[in-house]
């Protein structure tokens, strides 16, 4: 333990003297100031139950770091929650908050030249933002999974927040009463932590472990449970040794580990949002890998091994009890790259050596899968040269081919009003555009329309294409989301679509086409006025000017 720490400045220098003055005022000793200095990255907020327990977790983490011989410093970042922060600017703050977190961490941790960090991983955008920051700063880092929330029952049936989100789209059509929706809402969340299904938050927690950035066995986990708190203690102990060993994120975040994460998510029918987040993580870690191509490469190779709500009837608690991410990876062992490094200092092949799956009903074997059909499908074609994403449910019997005339809207509110007026009918392809990274800006949420179409009985009778963001959950009907290039990009095919144009989708062939002659499109391109993205101020304005395409993970320009 003699490695020189970057946080220990030369005695007698100005930096040493002024830092010593500041830290003496905090009650630190000269001995403390020689220890490894560890950032405890906390996204605590009173705005959402997702984060309401993190101050308590942070306190336990700091105790563990001190006990292991380190010096912890708690630092705070933005704390976005999809169900809370999506209220303003058409949901445009949600995705940009991820990159704000990255920069929050850089300012606090790199500005102070701390030696390592532990990140308290919680809601959807905090986890990828934290891993991206780890990749960018490349100092010893470990992700700490802070758990999923307890869900409840309503009228004798399980209810969680994902079900509330879905059923809210059924009120206008009379599919559910406001009274029942209120009852479901009252009982859906019974404690702190992230949404209790295989949405983006739990998917990203599992990604942490599959990447090797979290302790094996720690995802998923019930928030504030004794099991979770034991992993907090172990992570606090481990990060100090990682600093002395100089084990850094770029030793862990490799093409092989990212491929392992892709395969693990595909085997669980995880969130489509993991695609862009993994691409962003790769770019921040300066790892040359095309994540979209990996999802295409493994689409027909990786078996579907588990059906966790809302994809099936098993609960996230069942997945945890069956062995969690580690057990899923054990099932995938023959597909994985065994030499990928983990925060333990061991390779994933060594980590999985003695793992036993606890419940074969929950996590199937690769030889007896639920399905071999991919649940996350990248489609390309003349409408989406750079790709779009389709999420298919487990055992989904919906049609995988659709052709119809375009019916165009430029906001979810306009589309919902059009639906209420009866403008949307069977056989149409509803085009919801101008909602992408720049057009939103920030990728406005399109899921409200998808759920409303389901409530109106049209989900199986229309298709939807959009450059907006979709829920990480199952989307009802045939929906192609995150079309790239987005309509706001100059000359993008999505921006050239006119009402009545025919759009064809074939998920089995991985194709989404605009059936308009190229000569006509060229003429339209010459006459096209640039999409009038909303004039924003503040953070969204900065994001709009700086964000890169989805193929680059929607990271900010370097």
* Closest residue by Cα to residue 200 from 123, 132, 262: 123
Cβ-count burial 280-318 (b if 16+ within 10 Å, e if not) = bbbbbbebebebbebbbebbeebbbbbbbbbbbebbbbb
pLDDT at residue 91 in the model: 84
Listed in sequence order, the residues at least 6 apart from 469 whose beta carbon sits closer than 8 Å to its beta carbon are 91, 94, 95, 273, 435, 443, 444, 445, 446, 447, 481, 482
Phi/psi at 74 (5° precision): -80, 130
Record the tokens describing residue 546, joined without a space: 């700086």
What pLDDT score does 174 carry?
Answer: 77
Report the pLDDT value the prediction gives residue 194, as an integer from 0 to 100: 96
Q: Which helix (H) or strand (E) holds 243?
A: helix 226-245
Domains of the chain: 35-148+197-351 (3.40.50.2300), 376-552 (3.50.30.80)
- pTM recorded for the entire structure: 0.96
Residue 208 in contact with residue 128, Cβ under 8 Å?
no
> 192: how many CB neighbours lie within 10 A of its CB?
22
Active site residue 86: no
- pLDDT at position 536: 80
User: What are the tens digits of pLDDT across the range 21-40?
Assistant: 999 999 999 999 999 999 99
Reported as a single tens digit per residue, the pLDDT across 120-178 is 999 999 999 999 999 999 999 999 999 999 999 999 999 999 889 888 878 867 789 99
What per-residue confidence (pLDDT) applies to 542?
93
Tell me the sheet residues that pair with 154.
157
Of 271, 471, 484, 504, the catalytic one is 471
The ranges of the chain with pLDDT < 50 are: none
What pLDDT score was predicted for residue 475? 62
* Residues whose CB falls within 8 Å of the CB of residue 166, separated by 6 or more in sequence, listed in order: 310, 451, 454, 473, 476
pLDDT of residue 476: 72
């Amino acid at each position: 333990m003699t490695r020189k720490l970057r946080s220990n400045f030369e005695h007698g220098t100005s930096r040493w003297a002024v830092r010593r003055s500041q830290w003496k005022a905090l009650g630190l000793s000269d001995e403390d100031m020689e220890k490894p200095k560890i950032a405890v990255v906390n996204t605590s907020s009173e705005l959402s139950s997702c984060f309401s327990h993190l101050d308590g977790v942070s306190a336990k983490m700091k105790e563990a770091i001190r006990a292991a011989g380190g010096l912890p410093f708690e630092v705070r970042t933005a704390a976005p929650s999809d169900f809370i922060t999506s209220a303003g600017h058409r949901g445009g703050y949600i995705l940009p908050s991820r990159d704000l977190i990255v920069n929050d961490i850089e300012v606090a941790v790199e500005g102070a030249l701390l030696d390592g960090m532990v990140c308290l991983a919680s809601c959807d955008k905090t986890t990828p933002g934290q891993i991206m920051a780890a990749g960018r700063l490349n100092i010893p880092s470990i992700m700490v999974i802070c758990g999923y929330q307890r869900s409840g029952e309503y009228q004798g049936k399980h209810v969680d927040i994902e079900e509330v989100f879905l059923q809210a789209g059924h009120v206008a059509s009379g599919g559910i009463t406001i009274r029942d929706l209120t009852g479901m809402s009252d009982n859906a969340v019974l404690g702190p932590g992230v949404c209790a299904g295989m949405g983006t938050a739990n998917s990203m927690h599992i990604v942490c472990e599959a990447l090797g950035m979290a302790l094996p066995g720690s995802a998923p986990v019930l928030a504030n449970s004794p099991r979770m708190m034991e992993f907090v203690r172990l992570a606090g102990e481990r990060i100090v040794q990682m600093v002395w060993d100089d084990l850094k994120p770029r030793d862990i975040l490799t093409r092989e580990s990212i491929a392992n994460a892709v395969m693990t998510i595909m085997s669980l029918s995880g969130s489509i949002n993991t695609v862009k987040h993994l691409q962003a993580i790769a770019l921040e870690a300066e790892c040359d890998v095309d994540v979209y191509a990996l999802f295409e490469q493994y689409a027909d190779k990786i078996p579907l091994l588990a059906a966790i709500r809302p994809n099936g009837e098993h609960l996230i608690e069942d997945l945890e009890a069956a062995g969690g991410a580690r057990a899923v990876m054990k099932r995938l062992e023959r597909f994985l790259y065994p030499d990928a490094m983990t925060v333990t200092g061991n390779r994933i092949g060594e980590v999985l050596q003695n793992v036993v799956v606890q419940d074969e009903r929950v996590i199937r074997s690769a030889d007896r899968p639920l399905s071999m059909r991919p649940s996350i499908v990248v489609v390309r074609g003349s409408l989406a040269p750079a790709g779009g994403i389709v999420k298919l449910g487990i055992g989904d019997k919906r049609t995988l081919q659709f052709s119809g005339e375009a019916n165009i809207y430029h906001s979810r509110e306009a589309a919902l009003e059009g639906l209420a007026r009866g403008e949307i009918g069977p056989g149409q392809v509803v085009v919801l555009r101008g909602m992408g990274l720049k057009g939103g800006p920030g990728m406005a949420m399109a899921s409200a329309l998808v759920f409303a179409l389901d409530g109106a009985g049209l989900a199986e009778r229309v298709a939807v294409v959009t450059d907006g963001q979709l829920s990480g959950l199952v989307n009802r009907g045939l929906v192609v989301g995150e079309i790239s290039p987005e309509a706001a990009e100059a000359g993008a095919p999505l921006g050239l679509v006119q009402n009545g144009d025919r759009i064809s989708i074939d998920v089995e062939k991985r194709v989404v086409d605009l059936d308009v002659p190229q000569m006509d499109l060229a003429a339209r391109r010459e006459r096209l006025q640039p999409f009038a993205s909303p004039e924003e101020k503040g953070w969204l304005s900065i994001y709009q000017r700086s964000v890169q395409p989805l193929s680059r993970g929607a990271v900010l320009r370097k």
